[in-house]
Chains A and B, each alone.
Chain A
Amino acid sequence: MNSNANAATWERLRESLFARAGEPAPEPGQRSTEFRPVEGGEETLSGQTLLVEAYAALWVVLFGYVLFSWRRQSRINARIDELEKALSRSGPK
């Protein structure tokens, strides 16, 4: 089953690679020299996608900053704990 699927994949790859191998190369004059948009075609940038990206960016930046600040706060708390332990060790028994 698996070897059949591999053979089929290999066959498709071989066809796509060598199907036009015997054809002559295009003349230099036939090459594309400019890119033009399709007349009346759909726009490639969706306003909805851009809006969602902008909202996502807003929340990623805000949450990233809150997370960063939270970690700083945690480090300060850890240092306070260490200081308390050091003081209690050196205090009166």
Chain B
Amino acid sequence: MGSSSRKVEDALFYALFASTTLIILVDIHWIFYYAPIERTMGIVQKIFYFHVPSAYCMYLGAGACFLGSVAYFVSPTDGRDAFAKAGAETAVVFGIIMLITGPLWGAKAWGRYWTWDPRLTTSLLSVLIYVAYVVLRNFAGDGDAEKRFAAALGVLGAANLPIIHYSVQKWAGQHPVVIGKGGGGLAPGMYPPFFIALGAFTLLTVLLVWWRTRTEISRARLKHLEDDALAVLPD
């Protein structure tokens, strides 16, 4: 990559960072000052505005991991491997946020932090799959076999995502269905902060995946350079 294109990429990255920060600040203001308080649950329902976007961003990260893994199988490159790894890490980060905020909301709404509801259980399983991926990549070395094994996990891990999505429709459970098929919808005043949150979290996911992909590509290039240098340097 040339120096000028790298500068353009850096400028784009910082512009995206600034936009994401601004949108998050606007959204926090909107959530707490303008969004109505839910009738039965009260103020704790405002967890919804980042619990649902976190779950959605876990899907995005997992999707990136899936795409990177499939692409790596088709033609193995450091960039594709880095993209899959960045996607898995982002899926874990947002999955952990989802698994913390959901039970805190449930403590008030259901009177308990956790229940083995189909959506909760399948979500936990998915986060554990991506935790396994990240642990594998960080502790099992950087060999081709490890990368291929991780890519297989990245492809197979995505199989659980539709199960999470359709679990609330196929099996009984406590997890609410408000938006989408079978849901009663939100109050009109709840839509703007929710959509802003979805947008902000999407930008945040893009930022994190981009940043981590760049770092991992740099690390891979550095490793190749170190190997080359070891071959030519005297000691």
Contacts and interface: CB of A to CB of B under 8 A. Distances in A.
* A and B interact physically: yes
A39 B145 CA distance: 63
B211 A90 contact: no
A86 B233 contact: yes
A57 interface: yes
Contact of A61 (B44, B93, B104, B212): B93
B226 A57 contact: no
A51 interface: yes
A33 B96 CA distance: 39
Main secondary structure of the interface of A (DSSP, over half): helix
A45 B97 contact: no
B169 interface: no
Given A51-B43, A83-B226, A58 B93 contact: no
Contacts of A57: 97, 100-101, 104
Interface residues of B, number: 33
Interface string A40-74: 00000101101101110110011001000100110
A90 B218 contact: no
A54 B50 CA distance: 9
B107 interface: yes
B159 interface: no
A10 to B, nearest CB: 42
Of A54, A55, A61, A79, chain B has the most CB atoms within 10 Å of the CB of A54
B42 A86 contact: no
A61 B96 contact: yes
A19 to B, nearest CB: 38
B29 interface: no
B225 interface: yes
Contacts of B233: 86-87, 90
A50 B107 contact: yes
B104 A65 contact: no
A62 B218 contact: no
Contacts of A58: 50, 54, 97, 100-101
B222 A61 contact: no
Given A50-B44, A54-B105, A76-B218, 4 more contacts: A48-B43, A57-B100, A61-B93, A83-B229
7 contacts: A47-B108, A50-B105, A54-B51, A58-B54, A61-B100, A62-B204, A90-B233
Interface of B: 41-44, 46-47, 50-51, 54, 89, 93, 96-97, 100-101, 104-105, 107-108, 204, 208, 211-212, 215, 218-219, 222, 225-226, 229, 232-234
Interface of A: 45, 47-48, 50-51, 53-55, 57-58, 61-62, 65, 69, 72-73, 76, 79-80, 83, 86-87, 90
